[in-house]
Structure 1
Amino acid sequence: MINSSFNTTNTAVTAVPEEIYLFLGLYLSFVCFIGVTANGLSLVVFFRFSHLRTPTNTFIIALLINDIIMCLVGIPLSAIANFQGYFLWGFSVCVFQGFIMYFGSISSMYILTAISLNRYIVIVIKRPLSRKKVKYMQSNIALVFCYIFGLFWSGIPFSGWTRYEYEAIGTTCSVAFNTT
């Protein structure tokens, strides 16, 4: 294995033992396998049984899709990079991986917020007034806003406000929050 001794600013990265890279590669491979399997099986259940496709469950389906995309795109790149000891695909792929992981993560947080708001509306607000439920159109509009906000915040690094760069270990990329 090759230890990473560089990053985008050409400053030295602390040498990481090969065992740490191996452990991280194995761990990420395990997470990827479990993530794709569990989320994939959950999606199969939702698509097989139509009575489960409720407006509230559209949020869960969106979370499952986000997780699968991150498990299929972002995690394998990091796992392979950890097995190699450095990010071997170059900076452009690093930026792509950082964008996908940040977009998926922040969109998932917005979707979880939408689920909380949905539950608040159904339990606290709607129940005393009437027995109306949240409709598909409302949940779909909320999902569109979740993805728009996720796209906005994950696109900000391309505007120059911050940037995507290698993380300290040199095998994955993320937003460099400490830069201006």
Structure 2
Amino acid sequence: MLRNNLGNSSDSKNEDGSVFSQTEHNIVATYLIMAGMISILSNIIVLGIFIKYKELRTPTNAIIINLAVTDIGVSSIGYPMSAASDLYGSWKFGYAGCQVYAGLNIFFGMASIGLLTVVAVDRYLTICLPDIGRRMTTNTYIGMILGAWINGLFWALMPIIGWASYAPDPTGATCTINWRKNDRSFVSYTMTVIAINFIVPLTVMFYCYYHVTLSIKHHATSDCTESLNREWSDQIDVTKMSVIMICMFLVAWSPYSIVCLWASFGDPKKIPSPMAIIAPLFAKSSTFYNPCIYVVANKKFRRAMLAMFKCQTHQTMPVTSILPMDVSQNPLASGRI
């Protein structure tokens, strides 16, 4: 039944109804297998660092932990199902599997952008409004993190209960929002999701990081003690890491948003087949670059990873040299450690 729903007939379709040849499916499957293994391994290492060093288990770092969980969720469920279908030549998990697969991908994706918004708010309060930031409690962070997860769950469930729908894409080997059926339900769902889970979060992020940048520039021109300069250096390091994460998330999800907008206001039949597969692949790529960003953009996280590989315990490694999201007690920070 699913194979009959793969879209309109095309001379380029193979015998299973896919617009890709089996060789092209095999190439995609190879990419998914490699990317999935890298993503799972790297994010497990990230979680291992937080588990090994108790000093890292702070409310702020809980955001990063949850981001790693979303990445592991996609790479451990989404990648294998899609890769198996590519090797098979078409979607092989039936209607129910399609709903579960697409729903989980939307769930983890929406949760990720919500968590990145929480990171931006944390950076803003920590650097720009430290008096308010110091009053942020563990329960406050738990509430914001739960809000990101609940928001993701809501939008993942909507197509299952009837607002829009999930279906295999033209490649036939993966399931997503059924953008080929651009009826009123699909358009209203897509526009609402893009507004609430793309435009609004990005607006909040840009606002927060704009003011963070101003605060950092102001601090650079002020005369501060060496300890305060070290603290600001730590905060700048964390902020740079956060900005890179958000920019890369934007790069990953923009093609998917473009496909949905194209399907909403244009003719879905004219969307190129390569773009139909590249868009979800780009979105999935967000699962394995975050650990790379932690290592490349944050020297303290890099030191923590090296310490774990050298089997150092938290007693033999100073806390001040390992905190990737370090927040101290001085007035420039939020006082949560």
Same fold (TM over 0.5): yes
Q: CA deviation at 1:158?
A: 2.1
SS class of match (1:174): strand
C-alpha distance in structure 2 between counterparts of 1:101 and 1:164, whole Å: 11
**Partner of 2:56 in structure 1?**
52
Q: Quick one: which amino acid aligns to residue 164 of structure 1? A: Y
Superposition pairs of residues 105-120 of structure 1, within 5 angstroms: 105-120=109-124
Superposition pairs of residues 13-32 of structure 1, within 5 angstroms: 14-15=12-13, 16-32=20-36
Distance 1:122 1:133, change over 3 A: farther
**Which of 122, 146, 149 pairs up with 2:148?**
146
**Which of 72, 79, 86 pairs up with 2:76?**
72
Any conservation in 1 of the 2:26–2:87 contact (CA below 8 Å)? yes
Superposition pairs of residues 89-108 of structure 1, within 5 angstroms: 89-108=93-112
Match status 1:8 vs 2:5: yes
C-alpha distance in structure 2 between counterparts of 1:55 and 1:31, whole Å: 30
Match status 1:37 vs 2:34: no
C-alpha distance in structure 1 between counterparts of 2:132 and 2:45, whole Å: 36
Q: Quick one: which amino acid aligns to residue 6 of structure 1? A: R
| Corresponding pairs, count | 174
Any conservation in 1 of the 2:6–2:168 contact (CA below 8 Å)? no
Q: Quick one: which amino acid aligns to residue 139 of structure 2? A: M
Runs (4+) off by over 6 Å: none
**Partner of 1:170 in structure 2?**
172
Q: Quick one: which amino acid aligns to residue 99 of structure 1? A: G
Structure 1, residues 9-68: CA drift from partner, whole Å, max 9, x if none?
Answer: 663364212221011000000111001000001101101101111111100000111111
SS class of match (2:102): helix
What residue ranges of structure 1 are gaps of 5+ in the alignment?
A: none
**Partner of 1:87 in structure 2?**
91
Q: Quick one: which amino acid aligns to residue 88 of structure 1? A: K
**Partner of 2:246 in structure 1?**
none
Structure 1, residues 60-99: CA drift from partner, whole Å, max 9, x if none?
Answer: 0001111111111111000111111111111110110000
SS class of match (1:105): helix
Q: CA deviation at 1:161?
A: 1.7
TM-score by length of 2: 0.49
Calculate the aligned-residue CA RMSD, in Å.
1.9
Q: Decide which moves more: 73-82 or 6-15.
A: 6-15
Q: Quick one: which amino acid aligns to residue 148 of structure 1? A: I
Q: CA deviation at 1:135?
A: 2.5
What residue ranges of structure 2 are gaps of 5+ in the alignment?
A: 14-19, 186-337
SS class of match (1:170): coil
Any conservation in 2 of the 1:46–1:52 contact (CA below 8 Å)? yes
TM-score by length of 1: 0.89
Distance 1:138 1:88, change over 3 A: same
Larger radius of gyration: 2
Q: Quick one: which amino acid aligns to residue 127 of structure 2? A: I
